Structure 1
Amino acid sequence: MASFSFRVIQTCSHTHARAGIFPTPHGSVLTPTFMPVGTLGTVKGVAPDQLAGTGAQMILGNTYHLHLQPGEEIVQHCGGLHRFMNWPGPILTDSGGFQVFSLSSLRQITDDGVTFRSPRNGDLIHFTPEKSIQIQNALGADVIMAFDECPPYPASYDEVKNAVNRTDQWLKRCIDAHQRSDQALFGIVQGGVYPELRRLSAQQITEYDLPGYAIGGVSVGEPSELIHDIVKTVAPYLPLDKPRYLMGVGTYREMALAISAGVDLFDCVIPTRLARHGAVLVRGERWNLKNRVFQRDERPLDSTCPCYTCQNFSRAYLSHLFRSRELLGYTLLSIHNLTELMRFSLGLRQAIITGNFAEKLASILSEN
C-alpha cells in the first residue's frame, strides 16, 4: 500500500517524539494529531465546514454504530461514508470491538466471534472479524481497524492472555477478509496492564506488514498513570516507519506523554462530551460555564483562539445559551473545544520540528 507510506520528518533529540506525514486517498495527515470522533457519521452538533474550521484533519466513524443505524448498505448506496456525511478529508473507522465488548450483559464471546443483542431493538447479531471488515469495506474509510478483543479493567492474567491470542487469530482473519487496497488496515495491540502480555501482543501483531498499528485497551477504567506505562512498554516494539495510534485518549497530560514515547494519532469524545455539559477547555484548564462568574463576562473564552466561537461570542452569551439549553450553545462550545485540542496537538508537532518539545513537555507536565 504505497499510498499509505508514513514519513517521519523530524524527531526530538531528548525523547522519542516525532513529527510525521501520513498520506491517505483523501489527503495527508500531519502528525502528531488529535482526531475528533464522529461515531454515527457526525461529530455531534458540528457541521463539516465548521469541523474543518477547527483544524481537524482526520475524523472517526464507528463500525458497530453505523451497522446498527443506518446500515452499511445504505452508506455504500449513498457513495460511501465520505460522500454520505460530506466530509472530504481522511476518515478512520473503529472495528466495533470496543463497543461490542462493552455490552458485557448482552454478548457472548467465542473464538468465532461475538454474539450480542442489539441495544436498539433486541435483535440477535453475530459479529466476526470477517463481518467487521466487510462492513468497513462497504463504509469506505481511509483507515480501518482490525476486530480485536478488548478486555475490561480489571481482568485476570489468564483472561487477558486469552484476549491477546484471540486478537492475533482474529487479525489473520481480518487480513484475509480485507478486499480494498485503498483502505489501510491497522492492527491493534492488546495486553491489559500486564507488560509481558503487551510485549507478546506487539510482537504478534507486528509480524504482519500492516500500514499502521494501534495501542488498544486503555482508558477502560485503569488509573491514568498506567496509560503511560503501557505506551512506554508497547511503543519500542512498533515499527518506526509506521503510524502509531493510541485509542481513546484525548487529555493533555496523557497525549503529551504518549507523544514523547512516539505516538502519532489520538482520538477521544472528550471535546464534544464536555461541551454538552457546559464545560470548555481553555489553555489546559477546564471551565464550567454554569458558574455565575461568567454571566456578565464580555470577553471571549480565549483571546488567542482563532475559532469561530472565540472570534464572535462572549463568555456571557455562551453561558446564557447553555443555561437556556439552546442547541447553538452545544455547537459553539464543541467548536471551541475541538479547536483547542487541535491547537494543542499541532502545537506539540511544531515544537518537535523547532527543537523545543522537551521544554514544552516539561511545562505541560508541571501544569497538569
Structure 2
Amino acid sequence: MFTFDLQHTDPASSARAGLIQTDHGPIETPIFMPVGTAGTVKGVHQYELKNDIGAQIILGNTYHLYLRPGMEVMAKAGGLHGFNGWQGPILTDSGGYQVYSLSDRRKITEEGVTFRSHIDGSKHTFSPERSMEIQRVIGADIIMAFDECPPFPCDYKYAKDSMDLTHRWLARCCEYVDNTEGHYGHGQTLFPIVQGSTYDDLRRASAEAIASFDRAGNAIGGLSVGEPAEEMYRVTDMVCAILPKDKPRYLMGVGTPVNLLECIALGIDMFDCVLPTRNARHGMLYTAEGIINIKNAKWKDDFSPVDPDSSCPSSRFYTRGYLRHLIHSGELLGAQIASLHNLAFFLWLVGEARKHIIAGDFASWKNDMVPRLERRL
C-alpha cells in the first residue's frame, strides 16, 4: 500500500510537510534519501543509517545491481531488503541516469538502450519492460520509470525527441507494472519522470503528460546535470505548479543543503544525491554554521568535537584534529566518520524544514539558514 497525506503547507512559500506510507514503513516529508548505489551507502552500516543518521528510506540502482551481484543472487536473497538487511522503504533508480553517464558506450533506440558494462565491457540491453522486470526482482517500494536523461546543454530537437521517447517508454513501463505482480508480497509504486531539459514549453508539456498518467507520485529528472542553480530553481518551480498537489514530488539527484531548502520552498518533497558521502570522502563537512574543509591546516590541533551540535554520535565523539589526521592518512575510518556526519546533517536539515513548515515559519527560517549554510569556516 502506498499513500501520501499532505499534512501542512507553509503560508509564505510552496513548502509542504507530508506523510508517505509504504509496506516497509512511513516516510515523513520533506525527506533526503541516502544513495546506496550498489546496495550499500558507502562506509555506513544499516543500523547506523537507522539509529545514528535517522534515514527513513534509501536508494539502490538498477544498473549496478543488475551487473553485480546479478538478479539470480538478488532473487535468492529475497530482494534488496533481504540482501542488505535494510527493512525500511527502498527506492530504485531505473538505470536511466546510467544511460546518460555511459554516453560513450551505449546506443539508444525505440526499443531501449544497448550498452557495454563499465566492469568488463559485456553487452546488455535495457528496455522499459526489462528495467521494470529487474526492479521487480530487486523489490524496491518505489520504482522509477525508464527514461532518457538528456545532457546539458542540448539543442531543442534533441530535448524534444528525448522527452517524447521518455513518454513512450513510460507507457510501456506502466503497462508492464500494471500487468505483473511483485515477487515478495509487498507493494511497488511506479514514479514517472518529467524531462524536457531547460526548455519551458517542453517542461510544461512533459509535466502535463506525466500528470495524465495518474501515478501515485511523480519525479523531476534531467536537472543538476550542469545547468546553473537558477535554471534548476526556475524549472522546478514551473513543473511543481503543474504536477498534482496531492502526490509526492521527487527531484532527482539534488543536491547541496542550499539546493534542498530552496527546492523545498518550491514544493519538492523528496531528494537524493551522492554529494554528502562523495564530498565527505574528500574532507568536506556540512554544518548548520557553514562548510568545513577538514583538510585545512587550521584544524590540525583543534581538539573540539567535529560538530558538538550534530545529531550523529560520532560527530560529537571524535575531534576535528583526529578526523583531519584520518582523512590525510587515507584511513577508512575518516571517510566513515565524515559520511556519517554529512548524512546525519542532511537528514537533520530536512527534519528541521519539516518542523518549520508545520510551525508556519519555514520561509523566514529558510532565508536565515541559506547564508549560514554557504559560509566557509
TM class by shorter chain equals over 0.9
2:16 — aligned with what?
A: 18
1:321 — aligned with what?
A: 326
1:180 aligns with 2:193: no
8 Å CA contact 1:36–1:269 kept in 2: the answer is yes
What is the Cα deviation at residue 213 of structure 1?
Answer: 0.2
2:131 — aligned with what?
A: 132
1:363 — aligned with what?
A: 368
Measured in 2, the distance between the counterparts of 1:180 and 1:19 equals: 31
1:298 counterpart SS class: coil
Measured in 2, the distance between the counterparts of 1:241 and 1:72 equals: 35
Moved over 6 A (4+): none
1:351 aligns with 2:356: yes
1:9 — aligned with what?
A: 7
Deviation string 1:165-221 (CA, Å, 9 cap, x unpaired) is 111100010011112361010000001000110000011111112110000000111
CA RMSD of aligned residues (A): 1.1
What is the Cα deviation at residue 73 of structure 1?
Answer: 2.0
Q: Which moved more, 1:220-229 or 1:358-367?
A: 358-367
Measured in 2, the distance between the counterparts of 1:324 and 1:51 equals: 25
TM-score normalised to structure 1 length: 0.97
1:163 aligns with 2:168: no
1:41 — aligned with what?
A: 39
1:230 aligns with 2:235: yes
Deviation string 1:311-363 (CA, Å, 9 cap, x unpaired) is 21111111111122111111111000000000011100100001110111211
8 Å CA contact 2:17–2:30 kept in 1: the answer is yes
1:263 aligns with 2:264: no
Measured in 1, the distance between the counterparts of 2:357 and 2:33 equals: 19
Gaps in structure 2 of 5+ consecutive residues: none
1:154 counterpart SS class: coil
1:83 aligns with 2:88: no
Q: Which moved more, 1:298-307 or 1:185-194?
A: 298-307
Deviation string 1:215-243 (CA, Å, 9 cap, x unpaired) is 00001111121110110110011111110
What is the Cα deviation at residue 306 of structure 1?
Answer: 2.3
What is the Cα deviation at residue 258 of structure 1?
Answer: 1.0
What is the Cα deviation at residue 101 of structure 1?
Answer: 2.0
1:106 aligns with 2:105: yes
TM-score normalised to structure 2 length: 0.95
Q: Which moved more, 1:177-186 or 1:103-112?
A: 177-186
- Percent identical residues: 48
Which one-letter code corresponds to 1:148 in the other structure? D
Gaps in structure 1 of 5+ consecutive residues: none
Measured in 1, the distance between the counterparts of 2:110 and 2:355 equals: 45
Deviation string 1:67-94 (CA, Å, 9 cap, x unpaired) is 1111122111111101101101110000
1:332 — aligned with what?
A: 337
8 Å CA contact 2:309–2:316 kept in 1: the answer is no
Measured in 2, the distance between the counterparts of 1:105 and 1:303 equals: 46
1:280 counterpart SS class: strand
1:206 counterpart SS class: helix
8 Å CA contact 1:186–1:210 kept in 2: the answer is yes
Decide whether aligned partners of structure 1 residues 26 and 361 sit closer, same or farther in structure 2, where only a CA change above 3 A counts.
same
1:237 counterpart SS class: coil
8 Å CA contact 2:58–2:89 kept in 1: the answer is yes
Measured in 2, the distance between the counterparts of 1:321 and 1:308 equals: 18
Deviation string 1:88-133 (CA, Å, 9 cap, x unpaired) is 1110000000111211111111111111111111111111000100
Measured in 2, the distance between the counterparts of 1:221 and 1:337 equals: 23
What is the Cα deviation at residue 282 of structure 1?
Answer: 1.6
8 Å CA contact 1:252–1:284 kept in 2: the answer is no
8 Å CA contact 1:309–1:333 kept in 2: the answer is no
Which one-letter code corresponds to 2:110 in the other structure? D
2:247 counterpart SS class: coil
Decide whether aligned partners of structure 1 residues 42 and 284 sit closer, same or farther in structure 2, where only a CA change above 3 A counts.
farther
1:287 aligns with 2:285: no
Measured in 2, the distance between the counterparts of 1:165 and 1:88 equals: 37
Which one-letter code corresponds to 1:28 in the other structure? P
Measured in 1, the distance between the counterparts of 2:324 and 2:169 equals: 48
1:131 counterpart SS class: helix
8 Å CA contact 1:34–1:250 kept in 2: the answer is no
1:119 — aligned with what?
A: 118
Number of positions where the alignment pairs a residue of Structure 1 with one of Structure 2: 366
1:151 — aligned with what?
A: 150
Q: Which moved more, 1:321-330 or 1:241-250?
A: 321-330
1:297 aligns with 2:302: yes
What is the Cα deviation at residue 250 of structure 1?
Answer: 2.2
